[in-house]
Structure 1
Amino acid sequence: MTDGADRAPGWESVPDADSLHGDRGLPPAMTATVGTAPGRDATSRRRPRRRTAVVGLVAGITASVLLLVVAGIGWTTGSDDHSAERPVQSFLRDVEDGHLADALETAGIHRGHDDVLLTDAVYARAGDRITAHRITSVEQGSDRAVVRAVVTQAGRGVPATFELERTGTDWGVFPVWSLRPPALGSVQVAVQGPPRSTVQVAGADVRTDAGGAAELRAFPGSYGVHLSGGEWFTAEDTRAAVPGFGAPATPVVVTTTLTDAGSRAASAAVDAWVDGCVASALPAPAGCSFSASGEDPASTWTDQKWTLGARPSVVIGGWASKGWAVQTRSPGSATFTARFSGPTGQGTATAGPIDVNASGWITTFGADGATFVPAVANGQSDSGS
């Protein structure tokens, strides 16, 4: 190393290399006490306090952020849980799972005495039930909401609309929505047979009214319809479809036909009616299709009677407005005779042969067989005199 005379210009203030080593040339005692100088020791004691303050500040900020995140998550979750679509989702899931009792409660639907199809057991026997659903829109106001969905039934998408109303709040913030009872579909059955017949709809007994009809509220699906007429009449099984919620129902017509036993009983009822008319001693038997006239009221009449010449031939068809129609294929005949005595003398009077018709209806069956009601009586268009 050269001395200071040999240094390049500008380097005069640069210390020698040997002087850059701080502990070289110092006495051993000084070297040992450099780290514990009074000034440096005070600085060392203050540093942990700064770190503690910084850590506390960071922890406070982190806690605030976490609170904001949790609050945001809670608000989002609460809003989702209180969306108007939630009751609709719950209702449709219960219907899909066959839990009708739960679905009725969710929707506020009251089950009446005649609602025999609104049970879990009956619905379990229904076909073409809802298998899935999809919410398509939610219109949510302050007090009212409309939720639209598409339900999958029998492999097809069927639109459905549900209305809700706000019935309160949770925690004073989130709305509580209640599903208004949706309009259900219905099974309509029209029996072409005796009124007040018992029909099985999905296994449930249903009694028709005086017109032979029955209408029952039902959830979406298809319901088997069966009518048993015992030994007298029969009907083919059919199914009633309920497409979606509130859709107009198509009546299912159950057509009855007489069995062989029913046809024999019907013919026997017609014969019994004819025999009753012929057994009358009156020239105009009540409720019959034939009568005799021309009696002289000044004479006394005795031994009055009808004699059947031939029975009418009839055909029994399907159910008409009042019963199974009975039509006269060819009329029978009857003759009326009587003895008389009076101002003109005495003798025997005869009227006939007179046509005997037997058109009418077989209205019902009972333990004694069939009941026949004639369509005409005493001299009307289907009678002779």
Structure 2
Amino acid sequence: MSDEQTADPDQHGWGSVPPVATIRGTQDAPLDAPLDPRGGAQFGARRARPRRKLRRGQVAGIVAGIVVLSLLLVGGIAGSLIGSSTHSADRPVRAFLDDLTAGRVADALDDAGIDREKTDVLLGEAAYAKASDKVTGYRVAATRTEGDTATVRAYLRQGGQDVAATFTLDKTGTDWGVFPIWELQAPDLGSVNVAVRGPSGAGVTVAGRDVKTAKDGTVSLRALPGTYDVAFDGDKWTTASGGSASVSGFGRSTSTPLQMTTTLTAAGQQAAERAVDDWVDGCIASTDAAPTGCSFYAYGQNPAYTYSNQKWTLETRPTVRVGSWTTNGWLITTTAPGRAKYTADISGAAGTGTASAGPLNVNASGYVTGFSSDGATFRSAVGNGSSDTGS
């Protein structure tokens, strides 16, 4: 029997195991790890790994990526907004009105697709610069789109007032297959209308531009919104008071026709009276008993006699008054008829002698129809006794 004590089998081998803290490569268990009943950390428990820190370059790269993505997103939104704005239907209208208010007439006409013809003397910068009450501003009130057509309503500031205007645009295509391309259709232009009571082809000056009236004495000129001064381009024979004509906005707006009535200058009066005298003298110079186109004549000739040395003698000249313009010309009225006498030598079977008639009234009523470098042109209203008096 031995005195040696047998070791506790439960402790066999553990006495030689060094403490955990002394084992290389181990660390203390985390405070919150459950304890092994034998006094150590729970066997098999894993301690939480510490979070790995990102390097500065990695952080910068991530931030840069976010910024680029944000810029692309913002840029896309901004591009969409800008594209929609620059392709809106009212943009061509604004461009047209911007050029018009700035006086850039050629650019404005090009913006609106307005073709300028030779007779459009007012559709130029020089003429428009002389106009007053022009378009000085505008505001777009509404835009409506229906399919490939758009309508833009605007108000033009003209002569201190707002004038409504409507513009039509057609869709002609797209940009990038997304944004519509709008083309402004040429708006209807107003016109300056002038009517001259005077000979056809009378000269008129509108905003410094010289034009001629038509056969009916009128002239009509296309014009941009504004007020245009009109003057009669007379000569030494005729004159007329001028005025102005206004075109309000667009849409076939025409000015109230400016009526101009021509009158004769002092030189014109004298030329008219001289033309009457020349007509009378031409009648007196006739060797016919019934001068053609004249207001007096002799009658009762005896066919049994031969008439020779036929002669008219003017005893008194008619007095006339030059009146205003009529559809036939400036009216000439006889205020006191002249007197003329007819004489002739006669011969026949019964012998020879002298025949005479009168004195007869000389009526010089008629019209001065126009002027030339030689003077006035007179046309009698009576002739060969058909409507004359006292012949």
Q: TM-score, normalised by structure 2?
A: 0.82
User: How many angstroms does 1:353 deviate by?
Assistant: 2.2
Counterpart amino acid of 1:300? T
* Correspondence for 2:237: 232
Deviations 1:168-201 (A, max 9, x none): 2111111111111111111111122232122211
Residue 228 of structure 1, CA deviation:
3.4
Q: Is the Cα contact below 8 Å between 1:289 and 1:384 reproduced in 2? A: no
- Give 1:287's aligned amino acid: G
**2:374 maps to amino acid:** D
SS in 2 for 1:353: strand
Q: Distance in 1 between matches of 2:236 and 2:95?
A: 48
User: Are 1:176 and 2:181 counterparts?
Assistant: yes
CA contact (8 A) 2:202 2:233 kept: no
The match for 2:227 among 222, 226, 232 is 222
User: 1:138 corresponds to which residue?
Assistant: 143
Q: How does 1:82-121 map to 2 (within 5 A)?
A: 82-121=87-126
Shift of 1:315: 0.8
Distance 2:79 2:124 in 1: 38
How big is the shift at 1:299?
Answer: 2.6
Per the alignment, do residues 344 and 130 of structure 1 end up closer, same or farther by CA in structure 2, a change over 3 Å counting? farther
CA 1:382/1:61 → structure 2, altered by over 3 Å: closer, same or farther? farther
- 2:227 and 2:246 in contact (8 A); partners too: yes
> Which protein shows a greater Rg?
2
Preserved contact between residue 151 and residue 159 of structure 1 (Cα < 8 Å): yes
5 Å-filtered alignment, 1:1-385, equals: 43-44=50-51, 46-48=52-54, 56=62, 63-245=68-250, 246-343=252-349, 345-385=351-391
Offset, 1:205? 1.0
Unpaired segments ≥5 residues, structure 1: 1-26
Write 1 or 2 for the structure with the bigger share of helix. 1
1:206 deviates by 0.8
Give the secondary-structure state (helix, strand or coil) at the position aligned to 2:294: coil
**Structure 1 position 328, deviation (Å):** 1.4
Identical aligned pairs, as a percentage? 51
Q: Deviations along 1:194-231, whole A, 9 cap, x unmatched?
A: 32122211111111122222111111111111223232
SS at 2:50 equivalent: helix
Is the 2:197–2:259 Cα contact (8 Å) retained in structure 1? Answer: yes
Q: What is the CA–CA distance in structure 1 between the aligned matches of 2:129 and 2:161, rounded to whole Å?
A: 20
The SS at the match of 1:189 is: strand
For the residue of structure 2 that corresponds to 1:371, the secondary structure is: strand
**Residues 364, 370 of structure 1: 8 Å contact kept:** yes
Secondary structure in 2 aligned to 1:266?
A: helix
Give the conservation status (yes or no) of the 8 Å contact 1:288–1:377. Answer: yes
Distance 1:343 1:379, change over 3 A: same
1:341 positional shift: 2.4
Q: Which runs of 5+ in 2 are unaligned?
A: 1-20, 29-45
In structure 2, the CA distance between the partners of 1:208 and 1:65, relative to structure 1 (3 Å rule), is same
